[in-house]
Structure 1
Amino acid sequence: MLVLSEHAVARPRSGFVLSGLLSLLLILLVAAPSLSPAGFPFLHPVNIDTDPENMLPADEPVRVFHNAMKGEFGLYDMVVVGVINRQHPQGVFNRESLGHIHALANYAQQISWEKGGEQKGVVAIDVIAPSTVDNIEQAGLGSVRFEWLMSRPPETDAEALAIADKAMRLPFLNDTLVSRDKKAMALYIPITSKNDSYEVAQRLRAKIAEFDTADEFHITGLPIAQDQFGIEMFKQMAISAPVAMLLIFILMWWFFRHVKLVIAPLVVALISVILTMGLLVVTGNTIHIMSSMIPIFVMPIAVLDSVHILSDFFDRYPQLRDRKATLKAVMEELSAPMLFTSITTCAGFGSLAFTPIPPVQTFGVFVALGVVFAWLLTVTLIPAYIMLMPESSLSGFGMGAKGEAHTPLSRMLQRVGLFTYRRGKLILAVTAVLAGGAVYGIQQIQINDNPVKWFAEDHTIRVADKALNERFGGTYMAYLALAPAAGENGQPAQTRAGLLQSLAGLDPQIIAVIENKLNTLPGDSPPAWLPAFTAFALAQQEATATDAEWEAWDRVLLSAGEWQQAQEVFKRPEVLRYMASLQRYLDGTGLVGKSNGLPDIVKTVHRELFLGREQDFRIPDTRAAVAQTLITYQSGHRPQDLWHFVTPDYRQSNLWIQLKSGDNKDMNALVGAVETFFSENPPPVALQHNWFGLTYINVIWQDEMVAGMLKAFLGSFVIVLVMMTVLFRSLWWGLLSMLPLTVTIAAIYGLIGLVGKDYDMPVAVLSALSLGLAIDYAIHFLARSRYLQQSQGSWALGIKAVFGEPARAISRNVIVIGVGFLPLLVAPLVPYQTVGFFISSILVFAGAASLLILPALLTQFETVFFKNQEPTTCTTVSP
């Protein structure tokens, strides 16, 4: 490092020219794809991605299953539009409100645009609105009438109220489309992609703005929350970083009172951010919620070493009055601490590369690169900048006539040093008490997250979420896929040999033909080979020449038909009753607002086939009767809706579960409740059950993040400990350096548990982030303590010197980096607020812990840490 600094001092212009050209190059590479996409096909444009699904790798099993089931059941992510009328006695079921709802639904079905050769927007055929769903009612015994629930806007309030009464009779619509108090209605608008949700929402808002009405319109849902977050995240990144830079500039000016000089650290910070974010984009990485915070992390970190250099230069220059000599003395003393603090910071952030969350990996790697850029620029550009300044511009720079020791900060630090020397035991006792409280608090931590809660409480997304979940079954969707367990076909083992056995007694020649054909059909289970075999048997029957052969193949077809029916597990009445009992159980847990499934369709149609009598709202007793209800349902206007709940071969079914909360803790509790039900209530047919849906995916990535963060923290803790041991050439000194940050992290996380703050995504990453930063204070304090203890001849004199310039530099850094993250507190996005508050708290607390705990321990165990020195007494220390 000294070689780099000496080269910068000797050739100060070269470093600025090189870094300037490199920054300009990266800016051009980032801008080029946007300015001329066709001209730069090899470059990557800026991509924004806030999809929590991408928190998991593309090949993650739960994600693969989720996408497979969406395709299997024809499901799409949905934007939810809620309409509430608090003034009219009939709520939204009045002529004017339903007229607006009808117009909005028609407009929503037309939202479409082309992008990249693909049609984007709303999936019109699956929009759920009063004008797009069927009313199902009896039309005489054994007959059912299907008609649009609201084919046209009602002309009177009486007609409007009749629509509500019809909807309330249908399980799928009651508490899903229509609220129980009839004050509200929800429209469910499926979209081709989650990334289209913001554009769809904006177009819906524009249409709603045309209505002159007292109705409240709310737009929510996980897709719109995630896409909205992406838009606001980008704006926040553009605001927070410049504000942080301004605050840092003001603080450094206040410390050093020299505008030209404090510009240098800001130049280092700006170039570090440009290099880091430019490299992020040109390498094809997307800007996710984590990577959007890279600038706000790199910027304060980039000025840390600069503050140490300027602080030491501030104290030494008035004595030497020679820039080159002063810089040489400063860099010789600070080179090792700055190098190791940068390495440990890189280790802390770099450890995130070993988490199973791709966006977190990207964040960790590129912040670590930013730290490398910052270190390299600091040790070159700061000395070079000072050398480029006219000597006359430094006139009056540094300690005044009375010396830096007479400033309020210096006087306070001298008192702190004296206090740690005289009251070390008290400090350690208080630290032990805090550690005990922290352990208790950590045990109270509750792991939980919810993307909708990433917005402030007064944000329109949060307001809509609260308003709609108070009135409907829930806007958070989770899906439970059911299928026969492996090897289970609804009957005793059904294999090719089993089919041959059922055909015993047929002509041996026909048996031989059947056996030969079965051996050529692919697949192990009957659903794989039975359709092909049935088609073969039908062709053989049509080609027969005698009545005996025709009758033999007719028996084969009859047997194959029976086997085919046996495969249709979800036509069996006992299976549907089991699913219905599961739904009743879920409704009673308090975790589920509403559930919809195949049993609801069957029971509703069965009731209407029997003149709409409530006692006939049940599952029929025979498979044939179940089949009749399903065939009847398919004669309605939306026959495709059946395949949202069951596959055409009736081998897989799907329960739609609505939750009023998107909190992971509630989804986890629901998963546990379902496991309990299946263990206590064995199904009539062995069934396997698997979850999918965005609400469930959030649980999986959160769990993996918690586990990944813990591993990253423990791994980087060990790495940093080894590095500290190498730096100080002593295990005791290595352990000592880790103590302040350990106490700090335990205290902050204990506080999180005590105040009931959820352990969410931002909180999860703070431990690994803070480790690399918080250790910096301890390194500088201990490195300077050893040097000054040796130069002063005793710890009693050394501690007084340590609480001079070294403590001032540490204090300035504590203030700079603590304030540097404060702009995040005014962000409208909660994750930014969380990071801003807790990272500032951790770093300020770690700085205070380093200045209190470390000198107290060094004093109390002086003979251990300073073996070559005689113990001293406090009487030799003066304030």
Structure 2
Amino acid sequence: MSRFDRFVDAVAGHTRIAIAVMLVLTVVLGAGAGMIEQSSSLDQFQSDSPESQKLTYIQGNFSTGAENTTSVQLIARDDNVLDKESMVGILELEQRLQTNETIEGTLVENDSIVGLPNIVATTAMQQQVGGELQRTNAEFQQLNATVSQERAALQNRSDTLNATAADLQRALGMLQQNPNASVEAAFEQVRSNTSVELDQEDYGTFQQAAQGVRNAQNQSQVEQAYQLGTQGVLRDQYSDLQERGEELQAQGERLRELGGELQTLNGELQNASNATLDEQLEQLQSMNQSQIDGVLSLLLGENGGDGGSSAVLALVPTDFDRGTTEAEATMVVVTQTTDGQSSAPTGETSDAISNSQLAMQDIATENDWSVDEVLVFGSGIIGEEITQSMTDSLAIVGPLALLFVLLALIVAYRDVLDIVLGLLGIFTVLIWTFGFMGWADIAFNQLFVAVPVLLIGLSIDYAIHVFMRHREERNEHGSAGVRESMRIALTGVGIALVWVTATTVIGFLSNLTSPLPPIQEFGVVSAFGITAALLVFGILIPAIKIEVDGFLEGRGWDRTKSAFGTGGGRFSSVLAAGSTAARKAPFVVILVALLISAGGAYGASQVDTSFNQEDFIADSPPQWTYDLPEPFKPSQYSAKDNLDYVNENFVRQDSQSQILVESGGTSVASAEAMQKLGDAEERAASSGVVVVLSNDEAEIRSPLSVMESVAASNETFNATFTAADTDGDGVPDQNVGEVFDTLFQVAPDQAAGVISQTEDGEYEAVRMVVSTKGSASMDAVTEEMRAIASDVDVDGLTATATGQTILFKIVSDQLLQTVVESLIITLVATFAFLMLTYRITEGSATLGAVTLLPVALSVSWILGTMYLMDIPFNILTGMITSLTVGLGVAYSIHLSERFNQELERTGDLWESMRRAVTGTGGALLGSAATTVGGFGVLAFAILPPLRQFGIITGLTIIYAFLASVLVLPSLLVVWYRYLGPGRSTTAGGKTTSTTAED
């Protein structure tokens, strides 16, 4: 007795122990199910590629002012969203967003909401303050000049008067000392030496002072005389000087007032740039349409002010007519802080971000906001819809799969107890599998939505084979009891189930060669689930059936049932078609199968590979699904339509590629590097995948564009930049390091966004950020960006093209690699396993090759079908080749194994073939029907890749079943006649040579 037979005897003979052990395992494993986490992030599919490493370097070494943030794009649509009513409505919408409790905590501190209405309002406020500032400044400058001139004139006049007073004093002293000197002559001498006009009245005063000096009796009289002869003579002039001084003081007071006004106005100008939403709304409401159009012309027009800047033009459609002030749509950008969470739309977003963006969507749709429609597009909404589509898909396809399986089991079993046992086994397998995921810390992602359906189909496949074989044994050996019949059934079908499990596990574990972690995890989980199905339906369910059937039969219940597909009738005749064709024309059957496979192989070479965001975003579900009762009714889905609209009309905030240029033998702070960067900009600007704004300029940011922008507003940098650009082409050709130094001094934030500077002040890398069209294909974007990078990657510079789209392209290529490698590994490993196994057990290794050949043919059939249906390889359908082998080989193994068993019993080729095809074929048909139905219901899934996976997998099962019952019989006949025990046969088909060594 073989070890397998002893194991079967143990299960059948000690059913209660087997049940107890399996239940304990179920409880232990099931405890892990509560630890499963859910993830919809596409970042988990990315491997550690050089491009991924460079993107990480960029995120860690360049400061763009937007770290740990994510952007939400709100698109307002109407006949004209730039009229006053619409713009006021948009600002009111922004107020609601800013004051909402769910949203408020996620907004960044400054400039969290920016749209064209905000810019129009703040620009108008700046214009008003700027006009007053200009007028006040002009008055200040004029008065300041006047005061300066008057102050100088007064000082000069004061000096002249003081000098004249001194001359008069000296003249009086001379007259005092010389009593005979002429007073008139002394006065005339003073008058001739001064610019002060002295008249006769002044002479009279001087003469009186001279007499006083000569006649003074004491010092006091002398001083009085001197006072009269100087200050008294110049009294009128000093009085006039005092009046002018008082006037100058008044002008100084006014000058100080104007200085204060200027300071206030400068503050108001700064405040206008940072005006609150309430202030912006008040400003817009105070303006008429003509005033609004004037500001719009300045902002969006071809000439003047800040008109035509990319930051402003990015808020209107890319086909905006700059000759008008009307637009059918405009964009509002809301910036949120992610606190270290991923900011890419494909990345995992926090609950706070998702909830806040859903709140934005609710607010945008609850009111017309004076516009026809407001679309909300953001990473949180996309992530939520992907997650919700997984949940909705399970809610719809799970019950449908169970319902279909239930109906199929009713048809196949026609017995309530067997149906209940089958469903119990399915739930046990699911508990084991999800518990294993929890214990292994494997997150539930998009791939694993297919796992329950996969396990339901395969589990019921195992159940049907065990139950149908058990029924056959009871019908053929009516005297045998329940326990003995189950022992014989498990002995007969059990080894086939073990081989089926082994080959299926091989197929799934071949995904371990994939560089994509989630596909590796899917392979491991699926392999565990298949193994669990073998244990549950090979131990637990048979043991329970023995106990229950024995209990019922002991009380008079007849538990003998006929096996599905036996006993004649329509099913038997249909199943016998393969054996009939094998008897009449086996080579014709094989030739037709090979021709079909050749066509499928050609189609297989044409199948595309896809991995991008759109693959995972759900379309709007069919209308009938909204008639389903709760909780099966799906949610509303708008992200894909919104994404398509943004792609066609606006700059995607998340659609960017980057060229990282690093120093090698040549420094990035060199004329050569700047010239290469300039050439790269020119090529990118002319590329068909790069966004071009309505000003006909490509949306590109690099050190050169930042230099140009800063030079336009900063005189200091402009002087340095101009001096370094000797030929005037906008690219510095000398002293580049000095240009970088000055740029960091005057605009450090802008410089750090495109230039990487070490702590030692060395410049080690620069980058060019290119906004690419959201509608451009991954292949086109990747090819163009890599071509641009290759032009720079010379002369001692290292240039790498990176970005989310390029990383997705890498994943796509790795997905194709997974398809090819897993197919080769699965086929080789399965061939080797079956040939070795059949050599050991049947003495014929070639029987293993013959058993797998129909499955290999069906692989080309399914790939050709994918080409005809325009279904690409994606993260789910990319596993179809290994899945086809893993699932399909089960049908071939069951038929080959049954054929060999019947040969041992009857020794007759055609009787053995008839029994194998009608007996096992019936079980195969039942399992195929349930598996196809289980996978077929995935066509109703909300998640797009899941729909495609369900359709293709359903067809895979059909092809594998048809190959096993139509093609394999002919292959077995040819094998039997030329390689097997029938190398020489009698006319009646009796075997005269029963063994053949290979």
Query: Could you state the TM-score of these two structures normalised by the residue count of structure 2?
Result: 0.69
1:718 aligns with 2:824: no
Aligned to 2:247: none
Corresponding residue to 1:177 among 303, 309, 315: 315
Measured in 1, the distance between the counterparts of 2:88 and 2:556 equals: 74
The answer as to whether partners of 1:122 and 1:200 remain within 8 angstroms in 2 is no
Q: Contact between 1:4 and 1:380, CA under 8 Å: does it hold in 2? A: no
In structure 1, what is the Cα distance between the partners aligned to 2:41 and 2:957? 30
> 1:455, 1:462 within 8 Å by CA — same for their partners in 2?
yes
State the AA in 2 paired with 1:711.
E
Find out whether 1:54 has 2:54 as its counterpart. no
Displacement after TM superposition at 1:722 (Å): 1.1
Question: Does residue 668 of the first structure (1) align with residue 779 of the second (2)?
Answer: yes
Q: The residue matched to 1:339 in structure 2 has which SS?
A: helix
- 1:20 Cα shift? 3.3
Query: Structure 2 vs 1, CA of residues 366 and 815 (structure 1 numbering), >3 Å: closer, same or farther?
Result: same
Please say which of residues 144-153 and 388-397 is displaced more in the overlay.
144-153
Q: Which residue does the alignment assign to 1:656?
A: 769
Which secondary structure does the structure 2 equivalent of 1:483 belong to? strand
Does the aligned pair in 2 maintain the 1:424–1:857 contact within 8 Å?
yes
Q: Which residue of 1 aligns with 2:802?
A: 692
Given that 2:659 and 2:800 are in contact with CA atoms closer than 8 Å, whether structure 1 keeps it comes out as yes
| CA distance in structure 1 between the aligned counterparts of 2:837 and 2:406, rounded to whole angstroms | 32
**Does residue 801 of the first structure (1) align with residue 902 of the second (2)?**
no
Q: What are the within-5 Å matches in structure 2 for residues 491-530 of structure 1?
A: none
Deviation at 1:675, TM superposition (A): 3.6
| Equivalent of 2:458 in 257, 279, 301 | 301
On the 8 A contact 2:385/2:618 being kept in 1, the answer is no
Counterpart residue number, 2:977: 863
* 1:89-168 aligned within 5 A: 91-105=80-94, 128-130=114-116, 148=273, 152-153=280-281, 154-155=284-285, 156-162=288-294, 164-168=296-300
Q: Which residue of 2 aligns with 1:841?
A: 955
C-alpha deviation, 1:111, in angstroms:
7.8
Alpha-carbon spacing, 1:264–1:617, altered in 2? closer, same or farther (3 Å): farther
Q: Which has the larger radius of gyration?
A: 2
Give the Cα–Cα distance (whole angstroms) in 2 for the partners of residues 654 and 253 of structure 1. Answer: 65
Change (3 A) 1:440 1:123: farther
1:233-272 matched pairs, under 5 angstroms: 233-272=390-429
- Partners of 2:684 and 2:736 in 1: how far apart? 22
Identical residues among aligned pairs (%): 17
Equivalent in the alignment of 1:198: 354
- Paired position in structure 1 for 2:151: none
1:659 maps to amino acid: T
Q: 2:91–2:117: 8 Å Cα contact kept in structure 1?
A: yes
> Which aligned pairs between 1:371-382 and structure 2 lie closer than 5 A?
371-382=530-541
Q: 1:186 aligns with which of 331, 336, 344?
A: 331
Counterpart residue identity of residue 421, structure 1: R
Task: Give yes or no for contact 1:129–1:177 (8 Å, CA) kept in 2.
Answer: yes
CA distance in 1 between partners of 2:692 and 2:111 (Å): 27
CA distance in 2, matches of 1:108, 1:429: 68
Query: For the structure 1 residues 641 and 393, does the alpha-carbon distance in structure 2 shift closer, same or farther, using more than 3 Å as the test?
Result: farther
Give 1:325's aligned amino acid: E
Shift of 1:164: 4.5
Q: TM-score, normalised by structure 1?
A: 0.78
Instruction: Count how many residue pairs are aligned between Structure 1 and Structure 2.
Output: 766
Q: Distance in 2 between matches of 1:148 and 1:683?
A: 42
Which position in structure 2 is the counterpart of 1:619? 730
Distance verdict in 2 for CA 1:148–1:767, change over 3 Å = farther
Q: Which whole-Å deviations, capped at 9, do the CAs of 1:103-132 have from their partners, x for residues lacking one? A: 4556666789899xxx86657556653467
Distance 1:99 1:632, change over 3 A: farther
Question: What secondary structure, in the 3-state scheme, does the structure 1 residue paired with 2:311 have?
Answer: coil
CA distance in structure 2 between the partners assigned to 1:595 and 1:712 by the alignment: 42
Q: In structure 2, do the counterparts of structure 1 residues 403 and 282 end up closer, same or farther at CA, with 3 Å as the change threshold? A: closer
- The 3 A distance-change label for structure 1 pair 795 and 704 is same
Measure the CA separation in 2 of the matches of 1:107 and 1:63. 39
Contact kept, 8 Å, 1:455 with 1:828, in 2: the verdict is: no
Residue 14 (1) aligns with residue 17 (2): yes
In the TM superposition, what are the counterparts of 1:477-626 in structure 2 within 5 Å?
477-489=655-667, 566=669, 574=675, 577-586=678-687, 588=688, 595-598=699-702, 599-603=704-708, 619=730
- For residue 357 of structure 1, report the CA deviation from its aligned partner: 1.4
Query: How far apart are 1:50 and its partner, in Å?
Result: 1.8
Conserved in 1, the CA contact under 8 Å of 2:854 and 2:963? yes
Question: 1:291·1:359 contact (CA, 8 Å) conserved in 2?
Answer: no
How many Å separate the matches in 1 of 2:490 and 2:526? 25
What CA distance in whole angstroms lies between the structure 2 residues aligned with 1:46 and 1:131?
46
Q: Deviations over 1:682-706 (max 9, x none)?
A: 6897543223332222222222232
SS of 1:73's equivalent in the other structure is: coil
Deviations 1:840-865 (A, max 9, x none): 11111111011111112233454223
Q: Is the Cα contact below 8 Å between 2:600 and 2:860 reproduced in 1?
A: yes
Q: Which residue identity is paired with 1:478?
A: Q
Cα distance in 1 for residues equivalent to 2:556 and 2:517:
49
Following superposition, the deviation at residue 148 of structure 1 comes to: 4.7
Q: How far apart, in 2, do the equivalents of 1:127 and 1:651 lie?
A: 34
CA contact (8 A) 1:290 1:363 kept: yes
Counterpart residue type for residue 892 of structure 2: A
> CA separation of 1:720/1:416 partners in 2, compared to 1, >3 Å: closer, same or farther?
closer
2:516 pairs with 1:353:
no
In angstroms, what is the RMSD of aligned CA positions? 4.0
Aligned partner of 1:64 in structure 2 is 53
State the AA in 2 paired with 1:350.
Answer: L
- Measured in 1, the distance between the counterparts of 2:946 and 2:740 equals 53
Tell me the secondary structure at the aligned position of residue 466 of structure 1.
helix
CA–CA distance in structure 2, aligned partners of residues 629 and 366 of structure 1: 54
Distance 1:107 1:342, change over 3 A: same
What SS does the aligned partner of 1:764 have?
helix
Superimposed CA distance per residue, residues 27-51 of structure 1 (whole angstroms, 9 cap, x where no aligned partner) = 44544xxxxxxxxxxxxx4321221
- Residue type matched to 1:263 in 2? V
Distance 1:277 1:742 in 2: 31
**C-alpha distance in 2, partners of 1:84/1:623?**
47
Matched letter for residue 170 of structure 1? G
Contact 2:314 2:650 (C-alpha < 8 Å) held by counterparts:
yes
- C-alpha displacement of 1:868: 4.1
User: Is the 1:824–1:836 Cα contact (8 Å) retained in structure 2?
Assistant: yes
Unmatched 5+ residue regions in structure 1?
A: 32-44, 491-565
Give, in angstroms, the shift of residue 836 of structure 1: 0.8
Give the conservation status (yes or no) of the 8 Å contact 1:79–1:219.
Answer: no
Would the alpha carbon gap of residues 3 and 239 (structure 1) be closer, same or farther in structure 2, given more than 3 Å must change? farther
Aligned residue identity for 2:524: V
The letter of the residue matching 2:494 is: S
Amino acid at match of 2:642: A
Asked whether the equivalents of residues 568 and 651 of structure 1 are also in contact (C-alpha less than 8 Å), the reply is no
Give the aligned partner of residue 315 of structure 1: 472
2:374 is matched with 217
Closer/same/farther in 2, CA of residues 47 and 159 from structure 1, 3 Å limit: farther
| Distance change in 2, residues 1:228/1:398 (3 Å) | same
Is 1:469 equivalent to 2:647 in the alignment?
Answer: yes
Q: CA 1:689/1:221 → structure 2, altered by over 3 Å: closer, same or farther?
A: farther
Question: How far does residue 629 in structure 1 lie from its aligned partner after superposition?
Answer: 12
The residue that corresponds to 1:428 in the other structure is 590
1:646/1:207 Cα in 2 relative to 1: closer, same or farther (>3 Å)?
farther
Q: Distance in 1 between matches of 2:640 and 2:775?
A: 12
Bigger mean CA offset, 642-651 vs 130-139 = 130-139
Q: Which residue of 1 aligns with 2:249?
A: none
Residue 296 of structure 1 aligns with an amino acid whose one-letter code is V
Aligned partner of 2:877 in structure 1 is 763
